[in-house]
Structure 1
Amino acid sequence: MQPKESILDVLLYLFENYFDDDLEPVTDQTTLETELEAAGFPREEIEHAFDWLADLEEHRERSHFTAQDSIRVFADSEMLRLNTDCRGFLLHVERLGILSAEARETVIDRLLALNDEDIGEDQAKWVILMVLFAQPGEEDAFQRMEDLVYDPQGQWMH
């Protein structure tokens, strides 16, 4: 029995192996799809991952959120899918100044687009990294977030 691969697994594989500093694939999408299939990812998840990336770019282009010092209240539908650890981590990273309110909303949108039922802190970390990577001018925030993701002690709580 093959392990179930998720959209996030495909995205992480792409993120770690094929993206340069401008979130542009090193090769064309058709070639990437072929390589991802050869790596064992299911076709459906590959297609979902490319849709996810296209939606991220579209969200970035149309998003002009300007709230300052806002309090985020999660909708019931978001609370059903984003577990307590995930929501707490999102708010913590925002308080640290790594995520702006606008980026937070993009992250929540992209987390919900993963189609997972129970989305936790680990998924949030990777999606935050991808969102920050895709945002021009967020290099410092990306670096700070990368430090949190690769911190083996989980010291983000301190």
Structure 2
Amino acid sequence: MFDVIIYLFETYIYSRMNGYIDESKLKDHLKDAGFYSEDVYNALRWLKQLSLYQKKIISPKLTNNHSFLTSIRVYIEEEKIRLDTESRGFLLFLEQIKILNLETREIIIDRVMALDTKDFKLEDLKWLVLMVLYNIPGCESACQQVEQLFFDSKSRVIH
């Protein structure tokens, strides 16, 4: 499922491809590309859930780099299983350098937990952070910072 999400993000969303995309044709295209029907369905459902956050208003004070709140996040067991120590440390790092705030961190954790994969690595988390910030109004600056942090400007390869 996560491979489908990454493929869609790179092909349709992040490339800023404009215009209406017929969901039926998209499903056929993804199946032709070799993705399983169940993974396609789950990926599209996951993206629809992410799009619901576009309607959520992120507090301007929280998206301003000068006004971040400090908190300690206690992870439940299921979250610890999905997000290993390295991934949790990475989220904390992004908070400390003011790329993430309390709300965006929780959205990212929610979207990680909504994935149907048990094999979730730090590299996957980096992509997910980029996808979430890209889709949240008011997080344009944070998204640009993530791009600069994650990508080599010449090769566009995630670090």
1:58, distance to aligned residue in structure 2 (A): 2.4
Which residue pairs with 1:92 in the alignment?
93
2:42 maps to 1:41: no
Q: TM-score, normalised by structure 1?
A: 0.82
Q: Which runs of 5+ in 1 are unaligned?
A: 1-6
Share of identical aligned residues, percent? 39
Cα pair 2:87 2:122 within 8 Å, conserved? yes
Q: Which runs of 5+ in 2 are unaligned?
A: 63-67
1:19 to 13, 24, 38: 13
1:31, distance to aligned residue in structure 2 (A): 1.3
1:136, distance to aligned residue in structure 2 (A): 0.9
1:95-114 equivalences under 5 Å are 95-114=96-115
What do the CA deviations read for 1:7-29 (whole angstroms, capped 9, x no partner)? 21111111111126879775121
Distance 1:36 1:104 in 2: 30
Letter in 1 for 2:123: D
2:13 is paired with a residue of what secondary structure? coil
Which residue pairs with 1:53 in the alignment?
47
Letter in 1 for 2:136: Q
Question: Which one is further off, 128-137 or 53-62?
Answer: 53-62
What do the CA deviations read for 1:66-107 (whole angstroms, capped 9, x no partner)? 792111111122112211111111111111111111010000
1:1-158 equivalences under 5 Å are 7-19=1-13, 26-62=20-56, 68-151=69-152, 154=159
Change (3 A) 1:64 1:20: closer
Q: CA RMSD in A?
A: 2.5
Q: TM-score, normalised by structure 2?
A: 0.81
